[in-house]
Amino acid sequence: MDSSDPLDSFWGSPTSKANFCETDYAVSRYIAEFINSLSNVIYIIYGIYGLCQLQSKAMRSKVNKYGDPLRALPYWGLIAVGLCSFAFHLSLKYYTQMMDDLSMHFTTTPVLHRVLTANSNRRESIVIAMVLSFVLLVLIAFHTITNELIIHSVSFVGTVTIIGIRTVRLVQSRTLPDSNGRRQIWGMVRFGAVIFNVGYWLWLVDQWACGFLTKAREAIGLPWAFVLELHGWWHICTGIGAYIFIAVVDHLVSGEATRNIQQSSFAWPASWASTSFFAGYKPSLDKKANEKQK
């Protein structure tokens, strides 16, 4: 029996409402969507890197804020997204789809709370946390009962949009005007927004042009056909974008924003974006500045 036949699959026939353009069980009877599963490693890598950076800062500093579990929560959420999305694309089951969908909200909600309460006192922060928790519980209940995807998608995009807008305001209020630190932060924010939007459009094209993409992959053959698995690229793009905004928000809210950014504190390509054209970096101007210093 063909390995792409769901009846021959280890997990049985799909029960999830969502299914993507990648041919099911084309590579292995144990993996429903090979590239869509494998590409989730990006979330796990960035989540682990973020946790390691917080741990490193905690060891170098006597200030306990680096050991604050609330700072680590978004990175744990990023790891959870990777694991849950991997489980979903591995099996295409209803319960793993719910794990994947809900892990996205469990990751974005703590970041949303941080950007909304950056200038709030403890009481206001607790009230906002309670409101967000209530909204999240209602969303979870509605999504798991109805298994609809529109409200889930709209609420996720809405949350990401609010985080982006509030992050821009934090950059303006918590960095020194015309400082190198502000330019570096802007570089990462701009790049994060661009790559997140690129991922979103790849996700749309993967659905809209599935027939064309399937025929193109059949014509190209493996392994180059993997390049046209656009949902896998959505994982990579959003993994990078999510990490950048989590790291930037943490940098701004924690009070580190007045200093120049140490590139080693941010994973690539965030470190590159902080000194790229996204940050207004011009090699010619930099060369002239170095010549003046000499």
Task: Pick out the residues of the known binding site for Zn(2+).
Answer: 89, 231, 235
Neighbouring C-beta atoms of residue 254, cutoff 10 Å: 18
| Both structure tokens of 21 | 């353009």
Angle between helices 150-174 and 122-146 (to 10 degrees): 160
| Both structure tokens of 187 | 């570089």
Report the amino acid identity of residue 1: M
Q: How many CA atoms lie within 13 A of 183 on its CB side?
A: 10
Return the residue matching tokens 């429903």: 32
Which ranges of 147-273 would DSSP assign to H, the alpha helix?
Answer: 150-174, 180-208, 210-220, 230-253, 270-273
Q: Binding site residues for Ca(2+), as ranges?
A: 22, 33
28 contacts: CB under 8 Å, gap ≥ 6: 3, 34
Q: How far apart are CA 162 and CA 169, in angstroms?
A: 11
SS3 state of residue 18:
coil
Q: Is 221 left (phi over 0), alpha (psi -120 to 50) or beta?
A: left
Q: Binding site residues, as ranges?
A: 22, 33, 89, 231, 235
Q: How far apart are CA 78 and CA 111, in angstroms?
A: 11
